[in-house]
Structure 1
Amino acid sequence: MRVVTGFRAPLAFTVVALLLLVAAPVMASQPTPWQLNFQDFVTPVGALVDDFHTLLLVVEFGIAIFVFLLLAYTCYRFRAASNPNPSKTTHNTVIEVLWTVIPVVILVIIAVPSFKLLYFMDKAENPDMTIKVTANQWYWDYEYPDQEGLTFSSTMLDAEDAKAAGDPRLLGVDNPLVVPVGQNIQVLVTSNDVMHSFFVPSLAVQIYGISGRANETWMRIDKAGTYYGQCNQICGVNHSFMPIKVIAMEEAEYAQWLLKAKQEFAMDNPSPELKLAAASQ
């Protein structure tokens, strides 16, 4: 067996590392082993998150390299061999001004795109549709107010059912959230009990569900596909069993799903008259 040695060894490791960086975000819908980067984003908010992340990496690496070079210069310039009599300097006005002003400037540079992103992801302007997400211990309720109040629950599948459905373990659900591609979707999130968090990485959606209030965010999925997430706030003993599955469909396919869903879940959302009749029995 041939062993890579000498100059070729670090080169080989560098190539492998680069391949991992390139291959990591290939799978958009779910995390993958040895993943080093974000999942592929498929929303406008996600694109801005990725850009902001890249900016922060550049700033952070720049600061780290500067500090390293400064330390290296200090260790060399003020080593004991060159300075038998150490300096007793305690203050330097110029340096103190610089290490105060420069960090402030860096923070301002970071703040501009940060606030831009925060306000962009805050809420949808003139949304095409609304979805209400209600968190429960330990499942999700999805409601489509624009579709005659279409409502259904989504709970996790066991390992065998998830495998049969082609879903990853702990991420498969019986009734996924289905949305159309290319529409601005207002998402209202609340809770029926403790605090939860609706988190789908590929959609760049992460918002808390709090009992007694509705938090708002939005998404526009630009690519049809299946995207997985989970509750991102510890909510009890079965916190890890609250998966989220979002299926983004083209308009025609979504319209067909709506017709089927309204029939399938009709009895899950009976009229007030039926509820009154059932209660009187």
Structure 2
Amino acid sequence: MKMKLTCGLIIFIFICNAFVVSWNNGYDADAPESNPQEISRNVPKPLSNGVFNWSKIKVISEPVSGRDFDTRISYASRIAVENDKIYVVWWSDNNTNGAGTDDDVFYRHFDGNNWADIQVISEPVIGQNINTGRSGVPDIAVENGKIYVVWQDLDNTNGAGNNDVDIFYRCNLTGTSWEPVQVISEPIFGKNMNIGHSWSPKIAVENGKIYVVWDDVNNTNNAGNDRDMFYRCNITGFGWEPVQIISEPVSG
């Protein structure tokens, strides 16, 4: 019996070692100020599967390899891959490119040979801290070299108000320059009609059609002030369809 238990334990340990496990140590995306600032939530785990090997770690939040220029915390990275090219977004309060020490959304991509320079895409103008709200929790999608990013933001961009969190969207359709920021949680451009907080957006793209979901406490379409799942899409590439509350079984 003892021999069987020992063998079983060895087999269990071997199976567990064949997997990579990660977690976020209790990280709360909606309240970053409550999270521990001294620890890393991206501890590398060994992988041994007998077939593939991981490349060496590269710190892509640092503009220069081997130097600690980014002295702040970088959070919640998201990744997209297409044709061996890598696209990454994250958020940080580092003063990269004159973005200031408020939270901003950063972007970097790998063209197959080298990592390009870091861009602060939550700032509408390079080198200026125009967006002084808290920008964070980004998500990214890529299709045919076109890049689509969403994030949550507290800035008063396009009259969205600076007392509620909104969902911001930005795209790069040429690979070289970013289109202006759009506030897609607001039903009418330039007006702060959604006065509830909008959080944690996710984006998907297929055949040029853009789909975004997020959670929201606004009473849109009589959904109440509880937390609901909102959905919005851009089918033509030119304009967004009205917001839908998909967590409610009956509209209105």
TM-score norm. by structure 1 comes to 0.26
Normalized per residue, which structure has more helix?
1
Q: Which has the higher contact order (CA 8 A, sep 6+)?
A: 1
The structure with more radius of gyration:
1
TM-score norm. by structure 2 comes to 0.28
Normalized per residue, which structure has more strand?
2
